[in-house]
Structure 1
């Protein structure tokens, strides 16, 4: 398999370079969708696109037993060297390349699958709702296993190592408005200062206490209050809260406490605070069977000593909507060591591109082993 990968290496790196140099932000991955769709068709896949949103699915083979491999497509919009632009600083260009590389490798090896492989390219992971759209379109309803992949920072995994599971945490954004009226700077008694209300909320959030063995955080990430006039006390404001928790149960309790604080502060200051929950993402649930299959594939690809335990991270991933909404799915996400630095979402993130070959081999062996296990179970 490694010799075949070396043969395919120029094509693999060409694919990566194209995707890296042509990033597109969430829900606007139009050219990326077209590029991948044409690539899938050229290698014999049945291709499905969607009339109302980006994203593409390639189907290879036939059969009742179905395995899916998912890659996210979107880039971030961030400031890079003083200019705001679309930028692949989360590794989605690498994820797409590895899933396409899995197709290349299977085709080059002339593998006849005893079932169907779905290659899923999902939009809008960065805004947390792309997976929900794919679920709505029933893309995963007939899958038995689902695998994903994500590059890991160097402080988690080094080059030449990999993990058969990423334990992402839950995440949620609370968007809120303080609704009041402005007052003259000389007459603060005639109004409520929305900035003071915001300050009170921040202080109350610091006092949240939950089980110390369950990691969590809540912090205010955006505030907007006041206009151009410096002598006007703003009565209204908008703000956003970022909530994180390692477990779904912890997130439920954190949300309850945050809502209590917002209602309490509104009552204390006698103002109206409207809020809603956005960009909700669930914590990971890794299926032990999928994890075991992937661990074996890692060992066969890069050596048993390079199989690392599941990576625990407070970061979030909408991949876990799939198992939350479709509990029948047996899923695991590959954590790939690649000497990624300085970190995910850093505008100048870089990694060792040779790791793409490791990832492709691991994913390919995982897919083949999953089908093989199904056949073994069938004939026993």
Structure 2
């Protein structure tokens, strides 16, 4: 007689597969196929999209919908000297935990529908927006997410009912000045001088010190081709973050004004493009309370931790920005995760998979029974 796998073994098996087969944003073709095959084996209805990766499965009955989202993409990064797709943010774990909740709930009588969203392209920040465009949160009243947390935020054995992510914006710019001989700097327009002015402008932005924010240059390329040529041209990138969306918008306004002033002061061409915005968390207190009670019910009060604030960001929060009436919270699962999220050698204790799956199962069940 063959060995019958336990619930834990099934989840670990799913994780091992997804971890071994990472795919980057919008390229999660095989990942989507694998999730679909698992859902098919459970005899559950699901929907694929003709033009993008990802899928949506649904169980239960009723007009109201409770939903949970798992991000499915991996990062593209250097691992042991080779550039490749790599699950260093825990999305392989999130898929496995959400599938674990689906497995537990699929045969239960539910008063509401429960929708399982397997979303592509979280890392590039566009996946949630495309899911909203395709109606995946239409009729949804409560939306839950899940994310492993680094050890400095939560150790293994602790679960938080809400993660308060910060907001982030990213920018690329270019400077068009005039090259000059190193002996005749007055004949040119030095792009490096402009870069230094941009750096000082960022340091001179002062917002209420009780707010959490940062704005910094993350890339500068300025090269005249020789050590005796002063470069007139340069490119640069910036990373701007704040805990609140309103503060991020204020930073954007100040930076736009600063660029205009620097452009006029140096008489150069200065162009910049805001590439992407990831909004900060708009966390529902009602969703948080459901998750809090569910953590205690599923695991015990000793597992419960307080909501946490983190400078990281997640495109999960686009759902609430685009649908303000949506009640949402992202559950954070302690996993002794180290050295940190996005580190190419990130590891965590796999017992967190079972903990997360139990919490999600109980949270979705309670939300589906909630009036």
Is 1:358 the equivalent of 2:355? yes
1:257-294 residue CA offsets vs partner (Å, 9 max, x unmatched): 11122111111111121112122011101111110000
List structure 1 runs of 4+ shifted beyond 6 angstroms. Answer: none
In 1, Cα distance between the equivalents of 2:133 and 2:223?
40
From 264, 268, 282, the counterpart of 2:279: 282
Preserved contact between residue 150 and residue 333 of structure 1 (Cα < 8 Å)? yes
1:145-294 matched pairs, under 5 angstroms: 145-226=142-223, 228-294=225-291
Q: How does 1:266-345 map to 2 (within 5 A)?
A: 266-345=263-342
Aligned counterparts of 1:260 and 1:324: Cα–Cα separation in 2: 26
State the alpha-carbon separation in 1 of the partners of residues 228 and 82 from structure 2. Answer: 33
How far apart in 1 are the matches of 2:331 and 2:243? 18
What SS class does the counterpart of residue 118 from structure 1 fall into?
strand
Q: TM-score by structure 1 length? A: 0.93
Note the residue ranges of structure 1 that are not aligned, 5 or more in a row. Answer: 1-5, 375-380
Once the two structures are superposed, residues 245-264 of structure 1 have per-residue CA deviations (whole angstroms, 9 ceiling, x without a partner) of 00111111111111122111
What stretches of structure 2 of length at least 5 have no aligned partner? none
Check the 8 A contact 2:88/2:341 in 1, yes or no.
Answer: yes
Deviation at 1:227, TM superposition (A): 5.5
Structure 1 position 137 matched with structure 2 position 134: yes
* Equivalence map 1:88-99=2 (5 Å): 88-99=87-98
The 3-state SS of whatever aligns with 1:243 is strand
User: Aligned partners of 2:13, 2:208: CA distance in 1, in Å?
Assistant: 49
For 2:42, the equivalent position in structure 1 comes to: 43
Tell me what 2:24 maps to: 25
Asked whether the 8 Å contact 1:171–1:245 carries over to 2, the reply is yes
Q: Tell me how far apart the structure 2 counterparts of residues 84 and 119 of structure 1 sit (CA, whole Å).
A: 32
When structure 1 is superposed on structure 2, of 165-174 and 73-82 the one drifting more is 73-82
Secondary structure, aligned partner of 1:90: coil
| Structure 1 contact 101–360 (Cα < 8 Å) conserved | yes
TM-score w.r.t. length of structure 2? 0.96
Q: Say which SS state the counterpart of residue 355 (structure 1) adopts.
A: helix
For 1:286 and 1:25, the matched residues in 2 are separated by 28
- Aligned positions, number: 367
- For the 8 Å contact 1:165–1:333, the answer to whether it is kept is yes
Distance (whole Å) between structure 2 residues aligned to residue 270 and residue 25 of structure 1: 41
The farther-off stretch of 182-191 and 46-55 is 182-191
Q: CA–CA distance in 2 between the matches of 1:262 and 1:14?
A: 52
Q: Secondary structure at the match of 1:144?
A: strand
Please state how far the C-alpha of 1:127 moved relative to its aligned partner.
1.2
CA distance in 1, matches of 2:193, 2:27: 39
Moved more, 364-373 or 180-189: 180-189
After superposition, what is the alpha-carbon deviation per residue over 1:4-25, rounded to whole angstroms, capped at 9, x for unaligned?
A: xx92111111100000011111
CA 1:48–1:214 in 2, change beyond 3 Å: closer, same or farther?
Answer: same
* C-alpha RMSD over aligned residues: 1.4
The Cα of 1:343 is off from its aligned counterpart by 0.9
Partner of 1:378: none
